Amino acid sequence: MRYLPLNENDRVAMLDVIGAKSIDYLFQDVPEKARLETLVDLPKHQSEQAIERHMAKLSAKSVSAGSVPFFCGAGAYKHHIPATVDHLIQRSEFLTAYTPYQPEISQGTLQALFEFQTQVALLTGMDVANASMYDGSTACAEAVVMAKRVTRKSRAILAPGLHPHYAAATQTLASTLDIQIDERDCRPGRDDHVIDHINDDTACVVVQSPNVFGEIIDLAPIAEKAHKHKALLIAVFTEPVALGAIKSPGEQGADIVVGEGQGLGVGLNFGGPHVGLFACTKKLVRQMPGRLCGETVDANGERGFVLTLSTREQHIRREKATSNICTNSGLCCLAFTIHMSLLGDAGLKRLAALNHEAACHLADVIDGIHGAEVMNESFFNEFTVKLNKPAADVVEALAKKGVLGGVPVSRLTEGNEDLLLVCATETSSEEDIHAFEKALTEVLS
Amino acid sequence: MNNEGRPTTPVAINSNERLTVSGSKGLDQAVNLIFEIGTPRRTGVDLPEPKGRASRLGGQERTGEIGLPGLSEPETMRHYVRLSQKNYAIDLGIYPLGSCTMKHNPRLNEKVARMPGFADVHPLQPTSTVQGALELMHQLSHWLMTLCNMPAVALTPKAGAHGELCGMMAIRARLDADGQSQRRRVLVPESAHGTNPATAVQCGFTVDEIPASGDGRVNLDALREKLKESDDVAGIMLTNPNTCGLFERDIVEIADLIHGAGGYFYCDGANFNALVGRVRPGDLGVDAMHINLHKTFSTPHGGGGPGSGPTVLSDALKDFAPLPFVVKDADGFRLVEHEGGEAEGSFGRMCAFHGQMGMYSRALTYMMSHGSDGLKQATEDAVLNANYIQSSLSDVMTVAFEGTCMHEALFDDRFLKDTGVDTLDFAKAMIDEGYHPMTMYFPLVVHGAMLIEPTESESKGELDRFILTMRSLAERAKAGEAESFKQAPVYAPMRRLDETKAARNPVLRWTPPVEE
Ligand SMILES: Cc1ncc(COP(=O)(O)O)c(C=O)c1O
């Protein structure tokens, strides 16, 4: 087996040093009835070439986003990732390092995390950000749990436009922690109504902008009302590129901001790994979940970085920890940071503008198709289309014509059968949009 | 993994080092923060000029500078390559972090993970267009269930701790379904990883610690005592091999006791690398166990993640598995994504989409490369390597518990008694010798713990060199060379870092320097 350096002579010599007659001696603590005498019923080892062939065949059974006109969003976005990003994250020193517990020989990872935290804080308009969560949805769930800790209240309001998967992940975690979540009606055009539900019992209001329907929400009045009742505003986003074009949640009064960072530097990956972003105000930092990297000095007085404030975390605090998270999304943070470093303010704003422009163009095109109507007053790079047929059927029919034409809302949550979520990015060419127009016109007629 | 050790405030030293004008020292290049290199106006990407159409942003335009520095492509490349060179890595040398299983990361896995049918597919494309991806998930499930002899696996958990959450949620759901909602106490050995008690609490359980016996295993009498005449026990969370690197000899009896008391057996599978192909958790009475694909099945650790924690479930728990899951039927593969119907008992969704596809493809590639024979051999070599280290160091260091170990060897700090050197100093001295230290101060049940896990990836030659170094360090410590240990490391990119200062006055982001 090509990955195993020991040979039979080594093994015999080593057993001899141990004083064991055979390898079985080292497994003597295993109860007899649980000792496997034969190989498990699985194929034997295979060459690199054989595996590559098997996997390439499997890969070919799916239609990749880059191979067709592609318009899916709803929480995962297709963007161009500069070649530099994938090269750098594959460097051995980043790829094959563990969590930076020995800071003297982990400054590469640690400094990148410090840069990441700063970029996320700037992007969201918040004071501080942590070193990532698993993804946007788990970050959202953890934020609600954190709001309970901070406010000592246990009622959470989830806006109707919160991504249904985020709401579900939050509901799952909340259900065991005595957090009551208000019923919500996942439909477009209703997020403003959350204001009417905020009262003194409210621990937090969770509002996504742009929301799952693509609508951009004015968070400021919601923040104001929440604060009046000593509740927190948790702002959510699923597309980081949007923050290059729209107001940051921080400037609108959010207390905690959580979101998905995949859109910068990380590929679609069929939904994972992605990278959860988590930011908050300075005053809440000791209640935050997850790892934090901080600046310090070494014995020579030189600037360096370490993991810090770990008394919040499970390995020190155990059952009193703010979360059970340990491994996070390390390498995806690095990809995010490198992509963001390449972009800078200027690049991000331009990228955002191109996304918005592509979506505006697509919206105009779709509005001109009989049987399709764009519902949004506002949007960034995705919007909701009302169709004259069930969206799930339309999407299947489009796929047969070689177009991946968006995500039916019914895929995410039951109901809303006639609604389709459509997304355009800088990768959507004029040709792609034209192909979509043609296919959709045929399918709807 | 907990090996952060104790916060340290470094002792000031008289460095005789010659300072350089540039701040670099040969190949060790000085590196600033991106905020000190780039400017918001510079960019390293070429994007076309937007045409400036009407905005449909609902009056929410972001105006003003965000403050994100941009770097040209060569600057970016150089910055991150320089940073990378300040990291230790498994590709550089042995990375013996106990409980972390830092093994070789084959590059074939990276290549496969980047195939377009896995990497460039959207999670919400019509399932008819992602049959290959679903088939891969199905195959992975088959391998995991077979290796564990368990009837079901939930793939979605995103790391070990998330898998723990999955298993404990399933247990809770089952208890509630059986009208056993008074069962809210979870037994956790004191040697457990911090994620175990943290998870139990995150599922709304209370934690009851079980003490260890003198041989580093669960104290059976204490366990019996805790279960006596109780009807509030939800289950036990037990790591096997445990965090002392020892197989829990009485595991079948422990499972029987828990089941007899009406509870369930959660097994923390972080140490599955010691069992694969030789022992199946399903044969031990386990009800749920997470598998860290980023440990046992070699998906790279990436400086802290991403991971993946598929969780195998017993017959008793499988109906409560989280959404979504893959089903194979006559027409191919499909996803069950909504509550009700086939997912009647499901405790719900743990995250958006379907879990860590990028890790599934790597882990399956790894498993298929090894095959049933290679996986068993890898397990045996991992256990052999750990015992070889333990035996070769047992006369100069103090082995925490008598007898052979599994895939990791646990030492305590008795051999450092009265030397003035502590576990942390010893670890830092290893850095000067070119090694990443072992896990330190974990598990908490032994004093000054040093947990060494070499994995199967090390050759005998590499182990011999490591052993020689460790022996000589132990001897130097005993010979009264404490001072040099306190100074260590001196050959790393940085001297010891002041963790106390970092925590007392947290600086968690860069801010522009204040002008005087
Ligand atoms: C024994 C044990 N349990 C659980 C975990 C948690 O796994 P993860 O970091 O993948 O969440 C770890 C690893 O860090 C571990 O060593």
* Residue closest by Cα to atom 8 of ligand 1: B160
Mean pLDDT for the stretch of residues B224-241: 96
Residue B15 has pLDDT above 70, yes or no: no
Is B44 inside a domain boundary? no
Are B321 and B422 in a shared domain? no
* Mutation probe of ligand 1 site: the residue of A313, A316, A327, A328 with most atoms within 8 A of C-beta: A327
* Mutation probe of ligand 1 site: the residue of B237, B292, B439 with most atoms within 8 A of C-beta: B292
Of B39, B308, B388, the CB nearest to A18: B388
Are B380 and B357 in a shared domain? no
Mean pLDDT for the stretch of residues A275-291: 97
Residues 6 or more apart from B51 whose CB is under 8 A from it? A357
Are B452 and B474 in a shared domain? yes
Is B56 inside a domain boundary? no
Give counts: helices (H), strands (E), chain B: 14, 13
Residue B2 has pLDDT above 60, yes or no: no
* Residue closest by Cα to atom 10 of ligand 1: B160
Terminal C-alpha separation, chain B: 43
* CATH 3.90.1150.10 domain position(s) in chain A: 65-80+345-444
Tokens, residue B16: 């005789």
**Which residues of B are less than 8 Å from A62 in CB distance?**
116-118, 121, 129-133
Residue B300 alpha carbon to ligand 1 centre in Å = 14
Mean pLDDT for the stretch of residues A371-377: 97
Q: Say yes or no for a CB contact (<8 Å) between B164 and A324.
A: yes
* CATH 3.40.640.10 domain position(s) in chain A: 84-339
Q: Are the C-beta atoms of A121 and B512 separated by less than 8 Å? A: no
pLDDT in tens, B326-344: 999 999 999 999 999 999 9
**Which run of H or E residues covers position B140?**
helix B131-148
Q: Which pairing describes strands B311-313 and B152-154: parallel, antiparallel, or unpaired?
A: antiparallel
Sequential DSSP letters for B70-115: B--HHHHHHHHHHHHTTB--TTTS---BTTT------HHHHHHHTS
Q: What is the pLDDT of residue B1?
A: 40
Mean pLDDT for the stretch of residues B177-198: 96
Ligand 1 touching residue A98 (CB < 6 A) = no
Q: Which pairing describes strands A232-237 and A202-208: parallel, antiparallel, or unpaired?
A: parallel
Is B37 inside a domain boundary? no
Q: What is the pLDDT of residue B11?
A: 58
Residue A357 has pLDDT above 90, yes or no: yes
Q: Say yes or no for a CB contact (<8 Å) between A45 and B493.
A: no
Tokens, residue A101: 């517990």
Q: What is the pLDDT of residue B53?
A: 67
- Give A36: exposed, middle or buried? Use CB within 10 Å, 0-12, 13-18, 19+: middle
Q: Are the C-beta atoms of B301 and B294 separated by less than 8 Å? A: yes
If you compute the radius of gyration of chain A from its CA atoms, what whole number of angstroms results? 25
Report the distance separating Cα A416 and Cα A263, nearest Å. Answer: 26
Q: Which pairing describes strands B233-239 and B264-268: parallel, antiparallel, or unpaired?
A: parallel
- Number of domains present in the structure of chain B: 2
Are B265 and B322 in a shared domain? yes
Mean pLDDT for the stretch of residues B272-295: 98
Q: Which residues of B42-61 are buried (b: 16+ CB within 10 A; e: fewer)?
A: bbbbebeebeeeeebbbebe
Are B217 and B350 in a shared domain? yes
Of B136, B427, B509, the CB nearest to A128: B509
Are B335 and B428 in a shared domain? no
Residue B7 has pLDDT above 50, yes or no: no
Report the distance separating Cα B16 and Cα B14, nearest Å. Answer: 6
Are B384 and B411 in a shared domain? yes
Residue B325 pLDDT class (50, 70, 90 cuts): very high
Mean pLDDT for the stretch of residues A337-347: 98
* Mutation probe of ligand 1 site: the residue of B162, B165, B195, B442 with most atoms within 8 A of C-beta: B195
CA of B186: which chain A residue's CA is closest?
A319
Q: What is the pLDDT of residue B282?
A: 98
Are B349 and B393 in a shared domain? no
- Distances, alpha carbon A359 to alpha carbons A424, B303, B470, in Å: 5, 36, 61
Residue B5 pLDDT class (50, 70, 90 cuts): very low
Mean pLDDT for the stretch of residues A116-126: 98
Residue A106 alpha carbon to ligand 1 centre in Å = 20
Q: Is B259 left (phi over 0), alpha (psi -120 to 50) or beta?
A: alpha
Count CA atoms closer than 13 A to B30's CA, side-chain side: 12
- Give B331: exposed, middle or buried? Use CB within 10 Å, 0-12, 13-18, 19+: exposed
Task: Select the residue from A15, A49, A55 to test the B interface by mutation, using most B Cβ atoms within 10 A.
Answer: A55
Residue B124 pLDDT class (50, 70, 90 cuts): very high
Q: Say yes or no for a CB contact (<8 Å) between B58 and A377.
A: yes
Give the 3-state secondary structure of residue B32. Answer: coil
Q: What is the pLDDT of residue A374?
A: 98
Q: Are the C-beta atoms of A13 and B464 separated by less than 8 Å? A: no
Q: Say yes or no for a CB contact (<8 Å) between B489 and A17.
A: no
Q: What is the pLDDT of residue B516?
A: 60
- Sign of the CA dihedral A147, A153, A158, A163? positive
Residues 6 or more apart from B93 whose CB is under 8 A from it? B434, B435, B436, B462
Ligand 1 touching residue B270 (CB < 6 A) = yes
CA of B300: which chain A residue's CA is closest?
A96
Are B331 and B227 in a shared domain? yes
- Sign of the CA dihedral A152, A157, A158, A159? negative
Are B212 and B155 in a shared domain? yes
Nearest of A422, A425, A424, A427 to residue A440 by alpha carbon: A422
If you compute the radius of gyration of chain B from its CA atoms, what whole number of angstroms results? 26
Q: Are the C-beta atoms of A70 and A432 separated by less than 8 Å? A: yes
Are B266 and B205 in a shared domain? yes
Report the distance separating Cα A260 and Cα A277, nearest Å. Answer: 6
Q: Say yes or no for a CB contact (<8 Å) between A363 and B338.
A: no
Q: Say yes or no for a CB contact (<8 Å) between A319 and B200.
A: yes
- Identify residue B82 by its one-letter amino acid code: R
Mean of per-residue pLDDT scores for chain B: 95
Is B13 inside a domain boundary? no
- Sign of the CA dihedral B465, B467, B471, B476? positive
B429 interface with A at CB cutoff 8 Å = no
B504 interface with A at CB cutoff 8 Å = no
**Which residues of A are less than 8 Å from B97 in CB distance?**
98, 101
Is B114 inside a domain boundary? yes
pTM for the model: 0.97
Q: What is the pLDDT of residue B113?
A: 98
- Measure B214 CA to nearest chain A CA, in Å: 16
Of B33, B369, B459, the CB nearest to A6: B459
Q: What is the dihedral of CA B450, B451, B452, B456, to 10 degrees?
A: 180
Terminal C-alpha separation, chain A: 59
Report the distance separating Cα B396 and Cα B474, nearest Å. Answer: 6
* Mutation probe of ligand 1 site: the residue of B99, B301, B308, B455 with most atoms within 8 A of C-beta: B99
Q: Which residues of A382-395 are buried (b: 16+ CB within 10 A; e: fewer)?
A: bbbbebeeebbebb
Mean pLDDT for the stretch of residues A377-384: 98
Give the 3-state secondary structure of residue B153. Answer: strand
Give the 3-state secondary structure of residue B323. Answer: strand
B280 interface with A at CB cutoff 8 Å = yes
Q: Are the C-beta atoms of A120 and A139 separated by less than 8 Å? A: no
Domain limits for position B469:
376-492
pLDDT in tens, A297-315: 999 999 999 999 998 998 8
Is B349 inside a domain boundary? yes
Q: HEC string of B255-301?
A: HHHHHHCCCEEEEEHHHHHHCCCCCCHHHHCCCEEECCCCCCCCCCC
β-sheet with A372-374: strand ranges across: A372-374, A382-387, A419-423, A407-408
Query: Where a domain ends, among B338, B367, B396?
Result: B367
Is B205 inside a domain boundary? yes
Nearest of B391, B35, B126, B216 to residue A345 by alpha carbon: B35
Residue B431, domain CATH:
3.90.1150.10
Q: Are the C-beta atoms of A304 and A313 separated by less than 8 Å? A: no
Which numeric CATH code is attached to A65-80+345-444? 3.90.1150.10
Q: What is the pLDDT of residue A395?
A: 98
Residue B178 has pLDDT above 70, yes or no: yes
Residue B92 has pLDDT above 60, yes or no: yes
Are B409 and B468 in a shared domain? yes
Residue B367 has pLDDT above 50, yes or no: yes
Pick the CATH number of A84-339 from 3.30.230.10, 3.40.47.10, 3.40.640.10, 3.40.630.10: 3.40.640.10
Mean of per-residue pLDDT scores for chain A: 97
Report the distance separating Cα B97 and Cα B161, nearest Å. Answer: 18
Mean pLDDT for the stretch of residues A349-353: 97
Is B267 inside a domain boundary? yes
In chain B, residues 42-81 whose CB comes closer than 8 Å to chain A: 42-45, 47-51, 53-62, 65-71, 73, 76-77, 79-81
Q: What is the pLDDT of residue B511?
A: 95
Residue B17 pLDDT class (50, 70, 90 cuts): low
Mean pLDDT for the stretch of residues A92-102: 98
Residue B455 has pLDDT above 60, yes or no: yes
Residue B4 has pLDDT above 50, yes or no: no
pLDDT in tens, A413-442: 988 999 999 999 999 999 999 999 999 999
Residue B221, domain CATH:
3.40.640.10
* Residue closest by Cα to atom 9 of ligand 1: A327
